[in-house]
């Protein structure tokens, strides 16, 4: 693979390391020349700069997983990621020439990243076939977004007084009252469907985590309940029916979540999913996780100690 990397290095010709003292240079105050780059993805940009370019990674900071300082066409640039989802380029200079150099720098990184995909693919395929890989654990984020829409769905349902018939109101008042109730319930219905979709996204990932940690037959039968109404046309389904469906689905979700949290080994699987730790599919690390799953309280303590060890290693590095 090193030979393949050597063939890609000429693409980064002219880009060199830029040594900085981070305490003296307040880079965060300097303007972004190109911000929130999603293509190529953050991890490929990192590989292009670290593995192919062999530039120094200045490490992590809040919400930043990697950062490089390079010089190109007499301009100093910082290239860094943001929450592992995008990356950006900023500089001490903010003029047309610096912007043009930043665009060319992005193009070079993109070219290397595009070729890297082809270079890495055979090795990645072999690792997948032998199950020698880690799964990114996005369960905590999925659940946070699910809980956000769940809380919005639960918020401000019509009161009994609002839903009741009032014979003293005029026709226009009744129409206005009904329209307002439909508007609010339509809003809740949209939150409800977002809630359902996100719950099942998180559940699908949870099943994969169960599979990796040892339960090879982990499947849950909630799908018919939640997708029963999704097959109907949105043009002809009553808003109030949608809300009723979402409410029933939420009741099933909360009952099921309570069951998971109270039953072994699923409580341990759930604790691992909530931890956000990457899921190994092979080797001694996977076995050490399985060995630590005596009971959920002991396992939670093991997770805390594991995260502490990761943080200490990151600080030392």
- The more confidently predicted of residues 223 and 181 is 181
pLDDT, residue 236, reads: 42
- From residue 207, alpha-carbon distances to 124, 212, 214, 219, 229 in Å are 23, 9, 11, 6, 23
Cα 238 from chain centroid (whole Å):
33
**Rg of the chain, C-alpha, whole Å:** 26
Whether 267 has a pLDDT exceeding 90, the answer reads yes
pLDDT, residue 316, reads: 57
Phi/psi for 270 (5° steps) reads -65, -40
Structure tokens at 263: 């039953």
pTM of the model: 0.58
Tens-place pLDDT, residues 60-71:
777 888 999 999
The residues spanned by each domain of the chain are 2-129, 134-316
Q: How far apart are CA 2 and CA 123, in angstroms?
A: 12
In this prediction, residues 174-197 reach a mean pLDDT of: 81
pLDDT, residue 24, reads: 63
- From residue 73, alpha-carbon distances to 46, 56, 98, 150, 235 in Å are 21, 19, 8, 51, 58
Whether 161 has a pLDDT exceeding 60, the answer reads no
pLDDT, residue 233, reads: 46
Tens-place pLDDT, residues 76-109:
999 999 887 899 999 989 899 999 999 999 999 9
- The more confidently predicted of residues 288 and 98 is 98
Termini Cα distance of the chain: 25
Whether 226 has a pLDDT exceeding 50, the answer reads no
pLDDT, residue 189, reads: 87
Residue 72: other Cβ atoms inside 10 A:
20
Q: SS3 for 132?
A: coil
Residue 303: other Cβ atoms inside 10 A:
19
Whether 305 has a pLDDT exceeding 70, the answer reads yes
Q: SS3 for 282?
A: coil
Whether 138 has a pLDDT exceeding 80, the answer reads yes
Q: How far apart are CA 191 and CA 248, in angstroms?
A: 14
């Amino acid at each position: 693979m090193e030979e393949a990397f050597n063939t890609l290095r000429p693409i980064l010709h002219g880009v060199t390391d830029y040594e900085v003292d981070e305490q003296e240079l307040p880079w965060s105050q300097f303007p972004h020349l190109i911000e929130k780059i999603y293509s190529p993805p953050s991890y490929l940009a990192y590989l292009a700069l670290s593995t192919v370019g062999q530039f120094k990674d200045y490490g992590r900071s809040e919400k930043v997983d990697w950062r490089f300082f390079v010089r190109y066409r007499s301009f100093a640039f910082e290239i860094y990621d943001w929450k592992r989802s995008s990356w950006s380029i900023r500089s001490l200079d903010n003029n047309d020439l610096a912007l043009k150099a930043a665009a060319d720098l992005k193009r070079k990184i993109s070219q290397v990243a595009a070729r890297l995909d082809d270079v890495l693919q055979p090795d990645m395929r072999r690792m997948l076939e032998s199950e020698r890989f880690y799964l990114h654990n996005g369960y905590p984020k999925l659940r946070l977004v699910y809980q956000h829409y769940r809380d919005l769905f639960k918020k401000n349902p019509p009161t009994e007084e609002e839903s009741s018939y009032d014979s003293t109101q005029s026709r226009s008042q009744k129409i206005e009252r009904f329209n307002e109730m439909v508007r609010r319930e339509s809003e809740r219905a949209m939150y409800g469907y977002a809630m359902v979709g996100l719950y099942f996204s998180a559940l699908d990932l949870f099943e994969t985590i169960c599979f990796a940690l040892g339960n090879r037959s982990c499947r849950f039968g909630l799908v018919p309940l939640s997708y029963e109404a999704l097959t109907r046309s949105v043009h002809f389904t009553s808003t109030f029916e949608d809300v009723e469906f979402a409410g029933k689905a939420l009741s099933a979700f909360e009952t099921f979540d309570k069951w998971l949290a109270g039953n072994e080994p699923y409580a341990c699987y759930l604790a691992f999913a909530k931890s956000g730790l990457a899921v190994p599919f092979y080797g001694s690390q996977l076995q050490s996780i399985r060995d630590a799953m005596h009971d959920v309280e002991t396992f939670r303590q093991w997770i805390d100690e594991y995260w502490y060890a990761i943080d200490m290693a990151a600080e030392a590095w």
